[in-house]
Structure 1
């Protein structure tokens, strides 16, 4: 009888251990990682890629929290958001201090080859034989060169002047760009036209490009527009931090990081290890956004397309076992 009782107790103990083990695995799967959606296309795309990997490759749940840059970044510091896939460090006044104090954790650099400035379609400078477009501004290389070509970029509402499409009203870059427009003497020959929104600016470029017409205006990378169309960024004098805000000199590239809540390594150590290795480029991002625009694809479908077509890139971010799970989910 005593022996039988001992056997029963042993069985109960083994069962309890097995249940505890299953509970631990289940508990990890119940962890939800919250990603910041600050509103622009590229951060949503990178969210979709990272979320697919942590869900399919690691078993986490993942969701986005939407808001302005200010609100989502504050939520990251508060721990209400776990991951920020695109922190444009120059646009976040307290970023360096927050990292230094440990309020957030910088995991790595997503990309740092981005650009912004004044762009023209390549065919304006070089022509396009396939579209029967002759070069209208051969020799156009710099912002100051625009003075020679006001008639090429004629403003339909201001006879005798050219038109430069400026930045969006309210954006910090708009103030800088307008000062550049004045400092370089472009105000004598051009009007500075402010589109009402980023969608209106994109539409102006896309419409002109599809018609093969000349246009010059502010834009930035990476976007679907720069991924889809051949645009040339006009050269400027070298960037100088002391004169930049006065509208003199080129725009600098911005270090765009992947950062996270300070407890990310305790909450999701394997996800943190993956995100430390996450690195793309402006070109890769722009191509993905162009695919999304051309095919009217969702962010998640675009992420799947990216993962299927860039295996050599993303498999470096994860373990072999995680990679196999992601590949299986893509089939």
Structure 2
């Protein structure tokens, strides 16, 4: 009996050793490779324009063997996180709107690439509102709009710029801040009733596909066409040189971003939309990868 028990214990040890060997071999595939390469963390602001570039870059970087995480953050938190190294990359920085934040942290944040240029933004009104082509034209007609401008969240550069614009133009208008979705929903309600309404708009965004609206000229110079940039913590080049090189070569057409936003808002999965773009633009992806 004693010999039988010893033999059974020896057999158990062999089986356990075999299982341990099998687990180690399984973990030495992509997961170990990703562990060795590390994790790239993206900041994701609550704007529809942030999602498509982030998802496209995520898929490409994961294909390099890195793990990728996304952290939801407002603009202020994004810049703080990038400066501390808690966040590695932000794909949707609007210049000149974010110039002040960038200047504050420029010792620790790098402007890596221009994603796309000449993106319009500013105060938006329905095209059926006549006689208003510039911000100055709003003076004396504020009551037609219920003395309100609808904007996005607190902390966004555009929110502070609108406050400054209202003050400098001496407009009797209250800025009502909300989420992007809340702002669009309010504007949609007013437009459905053919009411005059002022809100903040920018491209790329499906609001210009779905609503009959126009950006009015900012004759005070706060809102001008923007260039959208990729920002990174300045240690990314050392941390992940191939990711850094890829992001240096990054660019994507504004129209493509807008088209992807439409697909996502129509219910298509975000990563599926991003993968479709990659499949249809493999030459451009290869170019960004330096292939």
Fold agreement, TM-score > 0.5: yes
CA deviation string 1:54-100 (max 9, x = no partner): 123x232212133343334333333332222223454364523644x
Work out the CA distance in 2 between the residues paired with 1:25 and 1:193.
50
Structure 1 spans left out of the alignment, 5+ residues: 1-22, 125-135, 156-161, 238-247, 321-331
CA positional deviation for 1:149: 7.2
User: Which of these residues, 78, 97, 101, is aligned with residue 84 of structure 2?
Assistant: 78
* 8 A contact 2:113–2:229 mirrored in 1: yes
Q: How far, CA to CA, are the matches of 1:169 and 1:299 in structure 2?
A: 23
Residues 109, 279 of structure 1: 8 Å contact kept:
yes
- Structure 1-normalised TM-score? 0.63
Query: Following TM superposition, by how much is the alpha carbon of 1:203 offset from its aligned partner in structure 2, in angstroms?
Result: 0.5
How much has 1:274 moved relative to structure 2? Answer: 1.2
Superposed, 1:157-236 pairs within 5 Å as: 164-168=148-152, 170=154, 173-174=158-159, 176-178=161-163, 180-181=165-166, 184=169, 187=172, 192=174, 194=176, 196-209=178-191, 211=192, 213-222=194-203, 223-236=205-218
CA distance in 2 between counterparts of 1:179 and 1:93 reads 14
**Which of 273, 277, 285 in structure 1 is aligned with 2:245?**
273
* TM-score, normalisation: structure 2: 0.71
> Helix, strand or coil for the counterpart of 1:80?
coil
Aligned: 1:59 with 2:65: yes
After superposition, the Cα gap between the structure-2 partners of 1:309 and 1:224, relative to the gap in structure 1 and judged at 3 Å, is farther
Compute the RMSD of aligned alpha carbons. Answer: 3.5
Aligned-pair distance for 1:49? 0.9
Tell me the distance in 2 between the aligned counterparts of 1:175 and 1:65: 24
Instruction: Give the corresponding residue for 2:15.
Output: none
Deviations 1:156-211 (A, max 9, x none): xxxxxx55533357456455535644655653xxx5462544322101233445x3
